Amino acid sequence: MESGVDIEKLSVRIKEKVLLRGVSLHVKTGETHILMGPNGSGKTTLARAILGDKRYTVTDGKIEFNGADLLKLKPHERARLGIFVSFQEPVALQGVNTLSFLKTAYESVNSTKITTSEFKKIVGKYLEKVGLPESINERHVNEGFSGGEKKKFELLQLLLLKPKVAILDEIDTGLDLDAMKALSSTVNEMLPETGFLIITHSDRILKHIKPTLVNVMKDGSIIRSGGMELVEEIEKGGYKID
């Protein structure tokens, strides 16, 4: 069976505020979907709903992964199935060593146990690729990290965990050229084994990645889907499209 996330007519609210209205989206392994839209349109809400954030209530629709009902699963169970979600502002985990954090995640996703020395070798293969020094292993997760370091640490997790579907929420924001190249290289390298849903405000990443489909969200709904011509339309006239 082809791996992927299937979202059908999803409606979501937080308390009494409706944030998503009948959203349908299908992201398969080997595909790269772009999700664009103005601030407050519901893009991050969709990512959090896929993750299983308890603050958000699904009032209608479904989210499935390979036929499994994700709405019945906790966030760590979704991750174990092969779903990875990266947010624009990753949370700092005070006092949590990065190497221990990565090792725990790696062991959970792969249902295995590994020695610290063995895991260091695995991490070492990817540090240079994402542009992080080995000293990152001794720091605490995202604590005192620069914006660029946070994004690179997300890329490191991607490479280590090798998810089936990755949702990247504005991971390209604020990246310099080298970091952007590292991001696009990581995405392109992981295809066709991983499907990507990339949430972005910018077309910069599209200079390095060829999307399967571009989706535009507004007021909690996907209002248009298409190819690069849709991005060009947005560049010229903004989100005044229907």
- Identify the CA nearest to 35 among candidates 153, 172, 154, 197: 197
Question: How far are the Cα atoms of 147, 200, 205, 218 from residue 172, in angstroms, in the given order?
Answer: 11, 7, 7, 20
Is the separation of the CB atoms in 143 and 105 below 8 Å?
Answer: no
Domain architecture of the chain: domains with CATH: 4-237 (3.40.50.300)
Rounded Cα distance, 214 and 127, in Å: 31
Per-residue pLDDT of the chain (242 residues; tens, 9 = 90+): 468 999 999 999 999 999 999 999 999 999 999 999 999 999 999 999 999 999 999 999 999 999 999 999 999 999 999 999 998 888 999 999 999 999 999 999 999 999 999 999 999 999 998 989 999 999 999 999 998 899 999 999 999 999 999 999 998 887 888 888 889 999 999 998 999 999 998 888 888 899 999 999 999 999 999 999 999 999 888 887 76
Question: How far are the Cα atoms of 44, 174, 211, 216, 230 from residue 227, in angstroms, in the given order?
Answer: 22, 24, 7, 11, 6
Kindly report the pTM of this predicted structure. Answer: 0.93
Strand partners, 80: none
